Chains A and B, each alone.
Chain A
Amino acid sequence: MPRESVLLKVCHLYPDLLNLYGDRGNVMAFVRRCRWRGIGVEVVAVDLGDEVDFREMDFLFLGGGSDREQGLMARDLVRRRECLREAIEDGLVVLAICGGYQLLGRYYRSADGRTIPGLDLLDFYTEAGASRLIGNVAVEVVIEGERVKVTGFENHAGRTYLGRIAPFGRVLAGHGNNGRDGTEGARYKNVFCSYLHGPLLPKNPRLTDHLISLALRRRGLPAELTPLDDGLEAAASEVMLRRLLGPGKA
């Protein structure tokens, strides 16, 4: 079914500021996979100080940056908190990666013991660790009742501990949230948080399509998607799963 008349609004927060580790690839993947199916998409880039109403958006991407950039973004987001909270409660589809993920929680406790408040939208907190958790990761994620293996690359000093909130997935290989409890990321309503770079969405098309479906459903539109040829993505994922989990487990 051609759906050019549909126009999903993709909000890319601070694209100039938070462009570490190729995370902009997440926005590219969402947009491409919509357009390949004839679903119209518009990307709205929001910079520091710009006006935006998150409730009008269909997909929000929040990436990570260096410490300085992260500080700038936190200051800017604090004044938008209420608007973001309402949108999230209303089912806005959000992908928050690494620093963007940490920011949605209650607080970040730095190595020197200072507590930096988060937006307190989701029930988790993060503490700085002595070493960075770095490496390739495989996570098992449940998408629409089906177990899917998701791959990516983590690189974070923060250890995140979840409160009353579900993880994004279960670690099969790698460190995940804190290297201890086997959880990776967090999930609340249509908000997906993860430490995985890679970037996450282009490498994991099942997840991307799930986010697109959720966005369509929130608008009251039919959410079944035309299947695409994902041979290249599957091959790339298999290479990493075989390396991390051994042959036969991919």
Chain B
Amino acid sequence: MRVLLAVLAGKIVAWLVRFLKRGRGSSLPGLVALKIHPRLLSHFVRQVRRGVVMVTGTNGKTTTNNMLARMVADAGLRAVVNAEGANLVTGIATAFIRAASWRGRIFCDYALLEVDEATFPRAAAQVRPGAVVVTNFFRDQLDRYGELDRTVALIRDALADLENVRLILNADDPLVAQLAATGHAATFYGLGRHAEVSPTSTAAREGRFCPFCGHALTYDYYHYSQLGNFRCPSCGFSRPRAQVEGEGVFAGARYSRCRLRYPGGTQELVLGQPGLYNLYNALAAFAAGLFLGLDPARMAGSLSSYLPATGRMERFRCGEKPVLLNLVKNPTGFNEGLRALLHLDPPVDLLIALNDNDADGRDVSWIWDVDFEMLEGMQERINLIFCTGQRGEEMAVRLKYAGVPLGKIVTEGRMEEAVRGVLRASGSSACLLATYTALWPVERILCRYAQRERAPEGLPSLS
């Protein structure tokens, strides 16, 4: 009876939110339903036929989960997915409510859930997943989680409390790879050595010390941040062998590719997104798909035609001008976003929308850990930088101290004016970077002036 009431209330709220056009309603229905029936998730999860996969970690949760969802759908299976980054317990509950009948029945093979790191212990205890994918750990919104060490410990403890779970872990991140010590069966994925590896890491490094003995780790090479071929000279902890490994990596301006090696074969993988981190997301999704028993060739096909979710390096066109929209939420992701400027037609106009709501991180000091100093080296590529959002002025100060000339910095508090400004500026292309709660308003305004590019065009053929 309580289930019926909770689902009904949730559905009514979802309908109201849509009817009144008050946001996208990806959390509120769940919030209401959970108030009525706190154990609602367990009720839903029992009905999932084959199993639940949870994806957690700092960066790449949404993309990895959406890639996995695409592969599952292409295999003709049904899944409940919490899309759009609604990754707190309320967002997960909302996804189930939307998929449920009025009587609270769910008909699906899988539930594929991306879960916020701080939420993971509570969600995992209720959902009891059959597989957990952990992408990476970077410093993120410290005022919400406390320090990174604590976040990792929370997830490690939550995993230790689970039974019969398969871990799918990033072999290149020592903070993630250590989770195999929880004793669960683990599949590791990672990238092999390639031309772009670096002998040093310039980013603020989190995994500097061995998680087991505290000794400083040594690296043969880095991919980026603390991801690389690591080894502890003191206790011998080292990068585990990856069962799913990307070889012959190429990460280009508009696409990236590698050869996927897995137990039993290889597949060529071409992604319509740039950057090593998108290859990591694809490897994680592929490794999870293998565990679910999906067909490898078909998975590679699904990944090649995958389109990114809103604000994950999404491409638009405003008249002739190419426009890139990207979510930025921590220094590592922001650095990747800035590096994308190198691949756009110069000169580039840039917009940065910085908010400081809970979901963005109330402490904006993290922008000082972003390597804006790299802009000094590409000054002739950059035309104007528009700073907007609740803390746009703070962003402008950061740019000033990174050595960006004052004449290039435009502070515009009104988001509408700022987006119009960056689209109308004289550059050949535009790049819009927004924190979480600034992303939706920026996208809404952008869609009024620019067309979303749908098909990933210009991909090299595989034959």
Binding site for B on A (CB under 8 A): 16, 19-25, 28-29, 32, 66-68, 132, 134-136, 153, 155, 197-199, 202-203, 229, 232-233, 235-236, 238-239
Contacts and interface: CB of A to CB of B under 8 A. Distances in A.
A229 B400 CA distance: 11
A25 B367 CA distance: 10
Contacts, number: 85
Contacts of A236: 391, 393-394, 396-397
Nearest to B139: A20
Interface in B332-373: 362-369
A19 B363 contact: no
Q: Give the 8 A-B CB pairs with smallest separation, nearest first.
A: A22-B368, A25-B368, A236-B393, A22-B365, A66-B147, A235-B393, A153-B363, A232-B396
Given A236-B396, A236-B397, A68 B214 contact: yes
Given A21-B142, A68-B149, A132-B146, A198 B365 contact: yes
Contact of B401 (A134, A136, A202): A202
Given A155-B142, A232-B411, A21 B400 contact: no
13 contacts: A20-B147, A28-B401, A32-B403, A66-B147, A68-B149, A135-B362, A155-B363, A197-B363, A203-B397, A236-B397, A238-B393, A239-B393, A239-B394
B368 A66 contact: no
A136 B149 CA distance: 24
Contacts of A232: 393, 396-397, 400, 406, 409, 411
B149 A153 contact: no
Contacts of A20: 142, 147
B209 interface: yes
B233 to A, nearest CB: 16
A24 B401 CA distance: 12
Nearest to A205: B397
Interface string B209-242: 1000010000000000000000000000000000
Interface string B130-149: 00000000000011001111
A191 B411 CA distance: 35
Interface in B394-451: 394, 396-398, 400-401, 403, 406, 409, 411
A136 B365 CA distance: 11
B157 to A, nearest CB: 17
Given A28-B401, A29-B401, A21 B363 contact: yes
Contacts of A67: 147, 149
Nearest to B204: A19
A175 to B, nearest CB: 13
Contact of A22 (B147, B209, B369, B393): B369
Given A16-B205, A136-B362, A153-B362, 5 more contacts: A25-B365, A199-B365, A202-B398, A232-B396, A236-B396
A235 B369 CA distance: 22
B147 A229 contact: no
Given A66-B147, A232-B393, A239-B391, A32 B369 contact: no
Contacts of B397: 202-203, 232-233, 236
Given A153-B363, A229-B406, A199 B143 contact: no
Contacts of A233: 397, 400
A21 B396 contact: no
Contact of A16 (B208, B363, B396): B208
Contacts of A199: 365, 368
B430 to A, nearest CB: 22
A21 B363 CA distance: 8
Nearest to A229: B406
Contacts of B411: 232, 235
B143 A155 contact: yes
A111 B368 CA distance: 31
A204 to B, nearest CB: 10
